Amino acid sequence: MATVIFKPTEACNSRCIYCEVVKKTRGPKRMIYKTLELFFRRVNEFLLERPQEELEIIWHGGEPLILGPGYFERALFYQEKHCSRTAARIEHTVQSNLTLLTREFLDPMRKLGITSIGSSYDPISNIRGLGANRDWRAYNRRFLDAICLLEEEGFDWGVVYVVTRQSLAQPREIFNFLTNLSPRRGLRFNPVLVYGGGLDHIRISPAEYAEFLGAIFPVWWEHRADFGPIEPFRSLVRRLVGEGTSLTCTDSGACASTHLSVLPDGRASHCGRTADWGLLDYGSIHEKSFSQMFSDPQRGVLRRRQTVLAETECQGCRVWDLCHGGCPVDGWFAAGSFLHKSGWCRAQKDLIEQYIDPLVKAGMNHHPEAAIP
């Protein structure tokens, strides 16, 4: 399935401490309706050209809900107008901070096929918050009200938790707090990504990230049947025991052929992260089709990356099949080249060797029939 990271806005009502999008000054903050309509024409064109393909559209930002319910209604109108023959092969998902969610959003979302919403949350004060002063109390109230509304209306929701330096002292407390919210779509942990100088007060190392996850893993492993999907634990363990093949884009090594990002002005990049940093410009939907962008010569270096790393920096690494050198953007920031492995590979290897392997091997030896949820 191809994936489009769709950024119809880069405006946001929040000022999360680690977010790069809100610092950007280039380009419009909102996609005009003319470009939005063209976007759905490009979607239809792409799917007609590839009758076996499906397309995931991830509404991202900024904060997509800042556009208002009417924007989602207009998107639905354009999809119905231009994609009558291909709509069954379009999947919409939304990544939102949820603080602007009202009941008026839910009907157009349902009609677009959206049944769950991904979000981010942090119970630690002053990491996420509304407005320039980062009002975390108001953020918390609105977030918790929103998840109540989603559950009342039958929507699933999930959380991405970003591990910062402030998180390191309380991994199990954070895990317990987030899992007690019972996100049915699950919970995922990611490290905070800080490039260049500044923000040293939130920066963490790969070893610290592995240690944070390692403190949580025994709790998840012992009670895994009681939790919803918790990542990266579930994917890593299923892969290790031969029960699963799915990996995130960061670890799959396959993003060269699957991802595209579209910004408010219609310009396209590879993914959300390359768009944020001005890397891999694939042109504009005003001049190019999606197929032309998926064939862009710049993707060649990403396709070669797997072969190059397997023969050089990652040769013989036992966790190669679990991370494939990590995210190319991390490699670029480490060495100015997409043909360099991510520094976060170290976290993956430490987590598996020091924390996951001992418990999983012992558990499988004593209870080989035990299921991995």
Characterize the bridge pairing of strands 186-191 and 283-284.
unpaired
Q: What is the pLDDT of residue 20?
A: 77
- For the segment 283-302, what is each residue's pLDDT rounded down to a tens digit? 999 999 999 999 999 999 99
Q: Mean pLDDT across the chain, nearest whole number? A: 92
For residue 366, is it within any domain?
no
Mean pLDDT of 85-91: 97
For residue 244, is it within any domain?
yes
Residue 274: pLDDT over 70: yes
- For the segment 116-174, what is each residue's pLDDT rounded down to a tens digit? 999 999 999 999 999 989 999 999 999 999 999 999 999 999 999 999 999 999 999 99
Q: Percent of the chain, pLDDT > 70? A: 95
More confident residue, 361 or 237: 237
Characterize the bridge pairing of strands 2-6 and 267-269.
unpaired
For residue 112, is it within any domain?
yes
Residue 364: pLDDT over 80: no
Per DSSP, the residues of 85-124 read TTGGGEEEEEE---TT--GGGHHHHHHTT--EEEEE---S
Q: Which residues have C-beta within 8 Å of that of residue 143, sequence separation ≥ 6?
A: 97, 98, 99, 119, 121
Q: What is the pLDDT of residue 25?
A: 58
**Confidence bin at 318 (pLDDT 50/70/90):** confident
Residue 30: pLDDT over 70: yes
Residue 366: pLDDT over 60: no
For residue 119, is it within any domain?
yes
- CA separation for the pair 283, 289 (Å, rounded): 10
Which domain covers residue 118, as residue numbers? 2-299
How many Cβ atoms sit within 10 Å of the Cβ of residue 100? Answer: 20
* CATH code assigned at 131: 3.20.20.70
How many Cβ atoms sit within 10 Å of the Cβ of residue 358? Answer: 11
For residue 357, is it within any domain?
no
In total, how many domains does the chain have? Answer: 1
- For the segment 220-268, what is each residue's pLDDT rounded down to a tens digit? 999 998 998 899 999 899 888 877 667 788 888 889 999 999 999 999 9
**Confidence bin at 368 (pLDDT 50/70/90):** very low
For residue 31, is it within any domain?
yes
Burial class, 311, CB count within 10 angstroms (exposed 0-12 / middle 13-18 / buried 19+): exposed
Residue 50: pLDDT over 90: yes
For residue 358, is it within any domain?
no
Mean pLDDT of 201-223: 96
**Confidence bin at 29 (pLDDT 50/70/90):** confident
Helices (H), the chain: 33-49, 69-82, 106-111, 136-152, 171-180, 206-222, 233-240, 249-252, 272-276, 290-294, 299-311, 320-323, 328-335, 345-350, 357-366
Q: What is the pLDDT of residue 26?
A: 60
For residue 124, is it within any domain?
yes
Residue 12 per-residue DSSP state: -
